[in-house]
Amino acid sequence: MRCAGRCTIPSMHTFQERLSALEHDMVLQGARVLNLCTLAVESYFDLDLVKAMGIETLDTEIDRIDVEIEKLSVPLLGMGQTDEHSIRSVLTIVKCNNEYERIADCGVNIAERVLEERTRHMRVPDTFRVMSNSVIGMLRDTNRALLRHDANLARQVLLFDDTVDRFKKEIVMNAQEQVAAGHLTVGFAFGLMSVTKSVERIADHCTNVCEQVIYLESGLIVRHRPEGWSAPVEPKV
């Protein structure tokens, strides 16, 4: 049973029924977060104050659902499950729920920058547009990987993280050069780098969710190394 705008109400359902309901709630939460981040990026592209001002309301709802999902997850761990996949499923919900809330916070940071700038006469670099659109695509694929428990899709998201890092470095270096040449104001460059950092953080949180999807389905540990993503290794007994 559900009530309007709220997560599943705990009842005398079996563990699997309650778990399935919570997984459905996570899918809906992922859609909310994707919508918020899409609007936030669009508001920065277009300096759209109306979209930016609506982000706070969306984030308030995401925060509320975040708390509800966490509260509903805890009792499942007390239902005596001994199957490792079942336990990992609950832990995945708890961890991914936290990651989604942080992704939404990054979207809020982007919208706040739009409201701070209000007016600007400089064009957002094409590289930033490509980077942001790519990260929104990562978030969309992250949602799909979590919905389908698709470890292969999750791995594809992880592999794209290095590309996002390269985009960020290119944007930062170009902004510094443009400021030095007098083509960009310091204020615009600062705002651009701040928003770029928020977009990069969205990608980082997406990789965290995808690592959980891989762990959920395989029990294998995904590790990041300085040289980039590596394949999962067998967990230590």
Q: Hey, which residues does 224 pair with through a beta bridge? A: 229
Q: Which three-class secondary structure state does DSSP give residue 221?
A: strand
How far is it, in rounded angstroms, from Cα 228 to Cα 7?
A: 37
The sign one gets for the Cα dihedral 143, 57, 98, 67 is: negative
* Residue 229, pLDDT score: 47
Q: What's the whole-number mean pLDDT along residues 79-93?
A: 88
Q: Are 136 and 40 in contact (CB under 8 A)?
A: no
User: Contact 29/65 with Cβ under 8 angstroms?
Assistant: yes
**Length of the chain counted residue by residue:** 237
87 touches 77 (CB < 8 A): yes
pLDDT for residue 10 is more than 90: no
As a whole-number percent, the residues of the chain with pLDDT over 70 amount to 88
**pLDDT confidence tier of residue 235, bands split at 50, 70 and 90:** very low
Q: Which stretch of 12-16, 22-26, 141-145, 166-170 has the lowest confidence by average pLDDT?
A: 12-16
- Which residue, among 130, 155, 163, 166, has the nearest Cα to 209 in the 3D structure? 155
Nearest by Cα to 61 from 118, 11, 4, 126:
4
* Residue type (1 letter), 35: N
CB atoms within 10 A of CB 132: 26
Checking if the pLDDT of 124 tops 70, the result is yes
Average pLDDT value for the chain: 88
E strand or H helix at 224: strand 224-225
**Mind listing the pLDDT tens digit for each residue in 219-229?**
776 654 444 44
Distance CA(22)–CA(16), nearest Å, equals 10
pTM, rounded to two decimals: 0.87
Average pLDDT over residues 34-57: 96
Residues 149 and 177: beta-carbon distance below 8 Å = no
Tokens of 237: 């007994």
Tokens of 41: 């990026």
Confidence of residue 25 (pLDDT cuts 50, 70, 90): very high
Assign 213 to helix, strand or coil: helix
What are the chain's domains? 15-229 (1.20.58.220)
From residue 114, give the alpha-carbon distance in Å to each of 13, 56, 117, 174, 191.
46, 13, 5, 21, 9
* pLDDT given for residue 5 in this prediction: 57
